């Protein structure tokens, strides 16, 4: 059975929540799925595909996601890979475009790595202990995860 790693880099946990939902959808498509913080990934030997999610902060992809991309670039270049980023405070086109540029900068730093799918999702911004703005679109997240599962299945069938 093909095993997919869903790795995530998060500061406050919202990216972990999205990674768990992506993992659930991919599992429902028939894959074995492991989920792990990106900083804890030591080896990709057990995996036939990888999904990497990272939060965007201060114009950059979370450092743990960037480090995993750089550290495992050779292996990631030869595995089916999908990447998502969390961060814009809304799903307005300008916000998504800016976030997409941030993700592209991170991916351009590892040009040998060519994801078969990328996505930008709205993030969660906290204002104190009780107030938060949650721009995550769970329907879009599920649709993307279904698309990724389909693309992973096609890539692994080759």
CA distance 152 to 131: 38
Give the range among 83-87, 106-110, 118-122, 133-137 with minimum mean pLDDT: 133-137
Q: Read off the CATH number of the domain in which 8 is found.
A: 3.40.50.360
User: Mean pLDDT, to the nearest integer, of 109-128?
Assistant: 91
**pLDDT, position 59:** 84
Core vs surface per residue 5-24: b (16+ CB within 10 A) or e: bbbbbbbeebbbbbbebbbe
Q: Which residue has the higher pLDDT, 130 or 59?
A: 59
20 closest CA partner among 114, 120, 138? 138
User: 28 is in which domain, residue-wise?
Assistant: 3-157
Q: What own/partner pairs with CB < 8 Å and gap ≥ 24 does 88-96 have?
A: 88/56, 88/120, 88/122, 88/123, 88/135, 89/122, 89/123, 89/125, 89/133, 89/135, 90/122, 90/135, 91/122, 91/135, 91/137, 91/140, 95/122, 96/120
Q: Can you tell me whether residue 135 is helix, strand or coil?
A: coil
Q: Could you report the per-residue pLDDT of 58-93, keeping only the tens digit for each?
A: 889 999 999 999 999 999 999 999 999 998 788 888
pLDDT score of 21 more than 90 = yes
Query: Count of domains in the chain?
Result: 1
Q: Can you tell me whether residue 80 is helix, strand or coil?
A: coil
């Amino acid at each position: 059975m093909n095993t997919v790693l869903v790795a995530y880099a998060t500061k406050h946990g919202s990216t972990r929540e999205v990674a768990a939902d992506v993992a659930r959808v991919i599992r429902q498509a028939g894959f074995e799925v492991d989920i792990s913080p990106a900083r804890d990934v030591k080896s990709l030997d057990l995996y036939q595909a990888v999904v990497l999610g990272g939060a965007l902060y201060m114009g950059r992809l979370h450092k743990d996601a960037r480090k995993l991309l750089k550290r495992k670039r050779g292996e990631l270049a030869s595995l089916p890979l999908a990447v998502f980023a969390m961060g814009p405070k809304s799903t307005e086109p300008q916000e998504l475009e800016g976030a997409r540029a941030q993700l592209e900068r991170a991916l351009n730093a590892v040009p040998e790595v060519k994801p078969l799918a990328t996505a930008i999702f709205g993030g969660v911004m906290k204002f104190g202990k009780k107030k938060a703005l949650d721009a995550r679109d769970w329907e879009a997240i599920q649709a993307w995860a279904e698309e990724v599962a389909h693309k992973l299945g096609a890539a692994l069938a080759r």
